[in-house]
C-alpha cells in the first residue's frame, strides 16, 4: 500500500520544482549539510563591491573588506551547536567563511543562506519558516542561494492543515512567519519574468527523511 507520507513528499517535490526550486532528498542531517556545502562550492563566488580597503578603517568596515579574502561565504543562523560544529568543519575544508550571526553588518556577498523550515505545504511546494530572529530572516533574503532544511515529517497536505499550529505560534508575539514558494521573482519590469530581484536567485530544499519512514 502506498505510504501517505511518501505521497505528500512526492507532491511537495513536484510542486516545488514547478516553481524552479531544487529539491534534494537526503537520509539525514549530515548528508544535508554536506550537500549544502557542495552547493556553495560549485557556484560562482559572490564578489562584494567594496572600495577603499587600503585605508585605515573602522572595525565594521574592516570586516566587510575581509570578506574579499574568502572565495565563498555561507550564513547559517539558528543551527544547534552540534550541527553548527559539523557545518563549521565542512566549511573549513572548503575555505568557506561561515557566519552564524550579525548578518546586518554582513549584507554583501553571501553565497548561501541556510535555514530550517518548520513546515512544508505539499499542495503548493511552500516552506513555512518561523523567522522571528532577524538573522534568520536575512539569511533567506540576502543570499544568492537560499538552502532550506525540511524534515519529511513536517510536510502537510495544504495550508488549512497548519491552522492550529500557526494559531499557537502567533500567540507568541512578535512573530514573523514566512511562507516561501520558489526563488524570488518579479514581472514588474515590462512583464519580463526576472529571478533574484527581491531575494535569492535560487532555492534549494533538502528534505530530510525520517528514520522510521517506510514505503
Full set of structural domains in the chain with CATH: 4-46+57-208 (3.40.50.10420)
Contact assessment for residue 205 and residue 23, using Cβ atoms and an 8 Å cutoff: yes
Using a 10 angstrom Cβ sphere, with 0-12 exposed, 13-18 middle and 19 or more buried, the burial of residue 155 is buried
pLDDT at position 171? 81
- More confident position, 143 or 170: 143
pLDDT at position 158? 96
Instruction: Give the tens place of pLDDT for each residue, 33-92.
Output: 999 999 999 887 655 545 566 667 676 666 656 554 557 899 999 899 999 999 999 999
The pairing of beta strand 202-208 with beta strand 155-156: unpaired
Could you tell me the pLDDT band of residue 1, with boundaries at 50, 70 and 90?
very low
Dist. CA 99–CA 106, nearest whole Å: 9
CB atoms within 10 A of CB 173: 6
Q: Coil, strand or helix: which one is 75? A: strand
- More confident position, 186 or 27: 27
Dist. CA 114–CA 149, nearest whole Å: 8
Instruction: Give the tens place of pLDDT for each residue, 106-155.
Output: 767 789 999 999 999 999 999 999 888 899 999 988 899 999 999 999 99
Dist. CA 144–CA 107, nearest whole Å: 12
pLDDT at position 196? 43
- More confident position, 97 or 184: 97
For residue 79, which phi and psi values (nearest 5 degrees)? -80, 150
- pLDDT of 214 > 50? The answer is no
Contact assessment for residue 98 and residue 143, using Cβ atoms and an 8 Å cutoff: no
- More confident position, 65 or 1: 65
- The pTM is what? 0.81
Mean pLDDT of 164-182: 84
pLDDT at position 71? 72
- pLDDT of 93 > 90? The answer is yes
- pLDDT of 192 > 60? The answer is no
Amino acid at each position: 500500500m502506498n505510504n501517505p507520507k511518501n505521497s505528500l513528499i512526492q507532491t511537495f517535490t513536484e510542486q516545488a520544482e514547478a516553481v524552479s526550486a531544487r529539491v534534494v532528498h537526503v537520509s539525514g542531517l549530515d548528508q544535508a549539510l554536506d550537500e549544502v556545502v557542495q552547493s556553495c562550492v560549485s557556484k560562482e563566488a559572490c564578489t562584494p563591491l567594496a572600495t577603499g580597503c587600503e585605508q585605515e578603517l573602522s572595525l565594521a568596515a574592516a570586516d566587510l573588506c575581509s570578506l574579499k579574502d574568502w572565495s565563498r561565504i555561507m550564513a547559517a543562523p539558528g543551527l544547534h551547536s552540534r550541527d553548527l560544529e559539523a557545518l563549521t568543519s565542512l566549511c573549513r575544508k572548503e575555505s568557506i567563511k561561515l557566519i552564524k550571526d550579525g548578518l546586518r553588518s554582513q549584507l554583501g556577498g553571501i553565497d548561501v543562506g541556510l535555514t530550517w523550515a518548520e513546515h512544508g505545504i505539499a499542495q503548493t511546494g511552500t516552506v513555512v519558516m518561523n523567522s522571528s530572529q532577524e538573522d534568520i530572516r536575512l539569511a533567506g533574503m540576502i543570499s544568492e542561494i537560499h538552502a532550506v532544511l525540511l524534515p519529511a515529517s513536517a510536510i502537510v497536505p495544504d495550508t488549512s492543515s497548519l491552522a492550529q499550529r500557526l494559531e499557537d505560534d502567533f500567540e507568541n508575539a512578535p512573530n514573523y512567519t514566512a511562507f516561501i514558494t520558489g526563488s524570488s521573482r518579479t514581472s514588474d519590469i515590462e512583464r519580463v519574468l526576472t529571478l533574484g530581484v527581491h531575494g535569492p536567485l535560487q532555492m534549494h530544499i533538502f528534505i530530510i527523511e525520517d528514520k522510521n519512514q517506510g514505503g
